[in-house]
């Protein structure tokens, strides 16, 4: 089995940084002019909006943790499918998980586009019916 690219490893580090709430470590993987697209809400922003989005998620769902990461490694494009677990999904959880059989985990897919070494664009999507 081939080893992962540097970019794939960078994305694994992004999710570890999320779990540690280490926003500075997370920022290190991104270009300062990156574009963030929230596929569910249809909104776009930059690096600051992405970090603010991740902080809102961490603050909104007690104990949220990325528990599993699957990577499709295309080198300059990396796709991560993640499983999130939280102590409570709160009111938003009722909306997010309305069609789910199991309320234990929420899955998301994020498509990461790289220049030579940094993320220049990421697009995130909730997986409603895995």
Give the predicted TM-score (pTM) of the model: 0.84
- pLDDT tens sequence for the chain (130 residues): 468 899 999 999 999 999 999 999 999 999 999 999 988 777 789 999 999 989 988 888 878 899 999 999 998 999 999 998 877 666 555 555 554 434 556 788 999 999 988 999 999 988 866 5
Asked whether 22 and 112 are in contact (CB, 8 A), the reply is: no
Asked whether 66 and 82 are in contact (CB, 8 A), the reply is: yes
The β-bridge relationship of strands 77-85 and 65-73 is antiparallel
**What is the DSSP secondary-structure string of 6-70?**
HHHHHHHHHHHHHHHT-HHHHHTTEEEEEEEEETTTTEEE-HHHHHHHHHHHHHHSTT-EEEEEE
* CATH class of the domain comprising 6-127: alpha beta
């Amino acid at each position: 089995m081939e080893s992962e690219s540097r970019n794939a490893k960078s994305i694994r580090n992004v999710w570890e940084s999320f779990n540690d709430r280490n926003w500075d470590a997370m920022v290190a993987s991104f270009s300062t002019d990156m574009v963030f697209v929230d596929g569910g809400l249809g909104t776009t922003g930059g690096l600051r909006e992405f970090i603010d989005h991740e902080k809102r998620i961490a603050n909104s769902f007690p104990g949220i943790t990325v528990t599993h990461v699957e990577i499709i490694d295309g080198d300059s494009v990396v796709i991560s499918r993640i499983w999130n677990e939280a102590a409570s999904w709160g009111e938003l959880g009722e909306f997010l998980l309305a069609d789910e059989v199991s309320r234990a985990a929420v899955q998301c897919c994020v498509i990461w586009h790289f220049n030579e070494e940094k993320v220049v664009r990421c697009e995130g999507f909730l997986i409603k019916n895995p």
